[in-house]
Amino acid sequence: MTSAESKNSMADVYRFLAQSMRYPTTDWFTEEYWSALLSLLAELHFHAEREELLTSRQESSDFIEDIQVEHTRLFINAVPHVIAPPYASVHYRGDGTFYGRIAESTKKFYREKGFSLVREDDLPDHIVYELEFLALLAHEEDEKGEKEFLEKFFTPWFSIFMDKVIEEAHHPYYRVVMKLIVFFTREGL
């Protein structure tokens, strides 16, 4: 595999991880996606995680709905509060607010690298946008930028977020996705 193929492959992985953190809909959570996820887990020898997902799907009457409910509970709306808001600002250095200082710094870094969010009102420190940005950096073969973003912006908050997700998740899907994100973001360091 050439260096360019490796970087494009990493860009594809980051895009896949970003997609995995979006609200699950039948538009993208298809048999093709499911097959790619299972193949990736097998390739990485994450056999226990793969089996856990297969079992949960077999035992479910509506697998996508189960993941939608879990996504909503973990990341959007739960009583008395959202369990694991997928925003760096909430977790980073105790900021605890949406669109905190780290969000502005993240947006500035995107611009310095020549990228911006499609919609100005999107929150730049959402996990999906951060993973998509890593995909863009990998595609551009900007290893220095990728490493800097991981070290300064992504890793400091992600470990706190991940711990909350793993501890609070009722469904194995998001625990597995967290493990994949850790595996591949550590590869980029």
Q: Does 149 map to a domain?
A: yes
Collect all residues with Cβ–Cβ distance below 8 Å to 113 and sequence separation of at least 6: 133, 136, 137, 140, 142, 145
Lowest mean per-residue pLDDT among 58-62, 118-122, 156-160, 164-168: 118-122
Give the number of domains in the chain.
1
**CA distance readout (Å), 157 to 36, 71, 152, 171:** 27, 19, 9, 22
> What is the mean predicted confidence (pLDDT) over 57-80?
94
> pTM of the prediction?
0.92
Which residues sit opposite 87 in a β-bridge?
A: 126
CATH number at residue 89: 1.10.3480.10
Q: Does 2 map to a domain?
A: no
Q: Does 82 map to a domain?
A: yes
Q: Does 163 map to a domain?
A: yes
Lowest mean per-residue pLDDT among 29-38, 72-81, 144-153: 72-81
Lowest mean per-residue pLDDT among 59-73, 120-134, 157-171: 120-134
Q: Does 3 map to a domain?
A: no
For the stretch 86-111, pLDDT in tens is 999 998 876 677 788 889 999 999 99
Look at 188 and 90; give whichever has higher pLDDT.
90
Q: Find, among 136, 138, 162, 30, the residue nearest to 83 by Cα.
A: 162
Q: Does 1 map to a domain?
A: no
Q: Does 122 map to a domain?
A: yes
Q: Does 53 map to a domain?
A: yes
Q: pLDDT band for position 7 (50/70/90)?
A: low
Residue 47's domain comprises: 10-185
User: Across all residues in the chain, what is the average pLDDT?
Assistant: 92
